[in-house]
């Protein structure tokens, strides 16, 4: 089965990101394919590469990067929500003449068309609300 996932909640502010990551890992172990994970609203903060998880908490950012890199899962970040929250890749940093790239390169900043495509290309679309 092909599955796409939407994550709406900020890491550490809700269980949304952690639960979505566990769901994706379990689905992959069961032989399903994750087509895309789309980070939306505060969920885009999962892409912020500068945060440091407390020693006694799981590093959700590292978990998403590991999932994307080891399983070839696209980690898509909504551009409108990313810009509002200061999550920038090189292209957006240059476009808006900002000083720093704040998004980890494992995450792609994309438009809402990628969300619609994920819905139509998947057998199941699962949303993890904030």
Q: Residues 115, 43, 48, CA angle at the centre, nearest 5°?
A: 110
Known catalytic membership, residue 101? no
Partners of residue 103 on adjacent β-strands: 48
Q: What is the CA radius of gyration of the chain?
A: 14
d(CA 127, CA 61): 18
Which member of 48, 78, 109, 118 is catalytic?
78
Active site residues: 78
């Amino acid at each position: 089965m092909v599955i796409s996932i939407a994550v709406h909640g900020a890491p550490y502010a809700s269980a949304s990101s952690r639960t979505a990551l566990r769901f994706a890992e379990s689905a992959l172990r069961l032989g399903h394919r994750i087509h895309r994970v789309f980070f939306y609203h505060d969920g885009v903060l999962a892409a912020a590469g500068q945060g440091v998880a407390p020693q006694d908490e799981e590093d959700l950012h590292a978990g998403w990067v590991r999932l994307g890199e080891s399983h070839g899962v696209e980690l898509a970040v909504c551009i409108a929500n990313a810009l509002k929250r200061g999550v920038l890749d090189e292209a957006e940093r240059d476009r808006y003449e900002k000083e720093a790239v704040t998004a980890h390169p494992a995450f792609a900043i994309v438009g809402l068309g990628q969300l619609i495509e994920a819905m139509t290309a998947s057998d199941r679309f699962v949303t993890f609300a904030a």
